[in-house]
Amino acid sequence: MGICDGRVAIITGAGRGLGRAHALAFAAEGAKVIVNDVGASLTGEGHDISPAAEVVATIKAMGGEAVINDDDVSDWDGAGRMVQQAIDTFGRLDTLVCNAGIVRDRMIVNMSVDEWDAVMKVHLRGMFCPVRHAVDYWRAMSKAGTPIEARIITTSSGAGLFGSVSQANYSAAKAGIASFTIVSAAELDRYGIKINGIAPSARSRMTQDAFAEMMKKPDSGFDAMDPANVSPVVVWLGSSACEISGRMFETSGGELSVADG
């Protein structure tokens, strides 16, 4: 028995890195998974379904159930289609993990408004649109008398909590995600919806260049920056066992702390 047996989870940005690790971990714990990824570059250009297709194939090879979704999560209609796909394919939706993101790093004095807007769009609008559609579904069920054990996990960052030089756009977006999580927890609890966030430290396309030495895979021993180390926390937060809401967790391999205040 897995901790997410019978649950249906959407993971955005699930083609690579943390999102991929989350999708595999949810599947290993019994969840049916919608693997969302547009397959864009690190800076948000392009479209390629092959990363998401590989994740779906891996889950199926494990004996799990998964489908691809390549909708743009920052597009209102696209986010709605993604949520509806979960319901149409698997009959329900229980967990939403908002993980999609891009970077366009630049010092403030050189940053263009387009670079600012692009990062805000994916991180903030790309979180809000799926959350809003999922909440509409769960709220309607709650009002109809159906018990709800819905879970949302957002993805902030140490940059959002403490700032990161040359990442003013990314840091501001991630700080906004943390605030959104706290406010949403207060507003959504009445419907049976719990929402928490993570500020992960792990090796990914976003970190492997900017923090190359810190993220370097060790020659031997425990790989603290393996993204798979973060996923067990996310899976638990996405399960019915999680009864907390409105918290932000800093997490990496072997470490977990609550960012409070």
* Phi/psi of residue 93, nearest 5 degrees: -145, 130
At residue 155's C-alpha, the angle toward residues 105 and 11, to 5°, is: 110
Residue 170 annotated among the catalytic residues of the structure: yes
Q: Say how far apart CA 200 and CA 137 lie, in whole Å.
A: 28
pLDDT in tens, 215-249: 566 566 656 678 889 999 999 999 999 999 999 99
Instruction: Enter the tokens of residue 200.
Output: 């992960």
Q: pTM to 2 decimals?
A: 0.94
pLDDT by residue (tens digit) across 164-212?
888 999 999 999 999 999 999 999 999 999 999 999 977 656 555 555 5
Write down the CATH superfamily of domain 8-259.
NAD(P)-binding Rossmann-like Domain (3.40.50.720)
- Number of Cβ atoms within 10 Å of the Cβ of 48: 14
pLDDT tens profile 97-154: 999 999 999 999 999 999 999 999 999 999 999 999 999 999 999 999 999 999 999 9
Among residues 116, 170, 180, 249, the one annotated as catalytic is 170
Strand partners, 68: 35
All structural domains of the chain with their residue ranges = 8-259
What's the Cα-to-Cα distance from 77 to each of 126, 133, 217, rounded to whole Å? Answer: 12, 9, 39
pLDDT value of residue 259: 78
Is the model's pLDDT at 253 over the cut of 90? no
What are 47-87's pLDDT values in tens digits?
999 999 999 999 999 999 999 999 999 999 999 999 999 99
